[in-house]
Amino acid sequence: MPFCGIGARSEEAQASWTIERRLRKDRQAFSLTHRIPVVGAGESGKSTLIKQMQLLYANGFSLEDKLAKVADIRRNIRDSLLAITAAMGRLQPPVELELAENQSSMDYIKQVSLQPDFDYPAEFFSCAQKLWRDQGLQEVVRRSNEYQLLDSARYFLDKCVQVADPNYIPSDQDILRCRVLTSGIFETSFIMNKIRFHIFDVGGQKEERRKWIQVTDF
């Protein structure tokens, strides 16, 4: 029986040693990890900065990452066209379409593309291309300092044909240019010079700012 007691204590000691060793490793890993919250006003470039860090230090974007961005990029095209067409009548002096025949395309963008289940069919891209070639629309874009327009608008509208392709796969540059409203907290991690970095992207809109404390109070 004494031998059984000794064996049990030995197993407990071994288990305790294993736990302590694991805790030491965890503490060491924690001490070598830099946690960097990226906070700021909306549209200030926080998400773009983090995507650049991911591209440079975290093995870039996987195929899954790229395919997940297709819908966001198409939404950027739609939102850009909505902003441009809405500004046409508000600018002073107002701007009209160069070709009256493009009015139906503008109506489609303003009405049909806003449906909740809109899935960006070929008709959408056909209308987008017609509008983008219209010199009236181009004039509104040249005056984008007079209203709010995505800084990626011209980039993606120039690539409208490519983005319309059902087999379209975004490039790294496409993902960097894509604009998406950040809601919540997103984390990216990578290792540089044997040091692990955790970068936290927090939404910059007013309703999101109460979450900043979650990533600044380490």
* 80 belongs to an annotated ligand binding site: no
* 91 assigned ligand-binding residue: no
Is 33 designated active site?
Answer: no
184 is known to lie in a ligand binding site: no
What is the rounded distance in angstroms from the CA atom of residue 134 to the CA atom of residue 138? 6
Q: Is 205 annotated as a binding residue?
A: yes
Candidate list 48, 129, 138, 188, residue with the active-site label: 48
Q: Which of 14, 28, 135, 205 is catalytic?
A: 205
Answer yes or no: is 152 a known binding residue.
Answer: yes
Residue among 146, 154, 152, 89 at smallest CA distance from 128: 154
Consult the annotation and say whether 47 binds a ligand.
Answer: yes
Closest CA to 65 of 77, 54, 56: 54
Consult the annotation and say whether 9 binds a ligand: no
Q: Is 65 a catalytic residue?
A: no
Catalytic entry in 33, 35, 43, 96: 43
> Is 209 a known active-site residue?
no
Question: Contact, 69 vs 88, CB < 8 A?
Answer: no
Q: Is 205 annotated as catalytic?
A: yes
Q: Is position 179 annotated as part of the catalytic site?
A: yes
DSSP string, 104-153: HHHHHHHHGGGSTT----HHHHHHHHHHHH-HHHHHHHHTGGGS---TTH
Mark the binding-site residues, compressed into ranges.
43-48, 151-152, 176-182, 201-205
Residues recognised as catalytic: 43, 48, 179, 201, 205
Mark the binding-site residues for Mg(2+), compressed into ranges.
47, 182
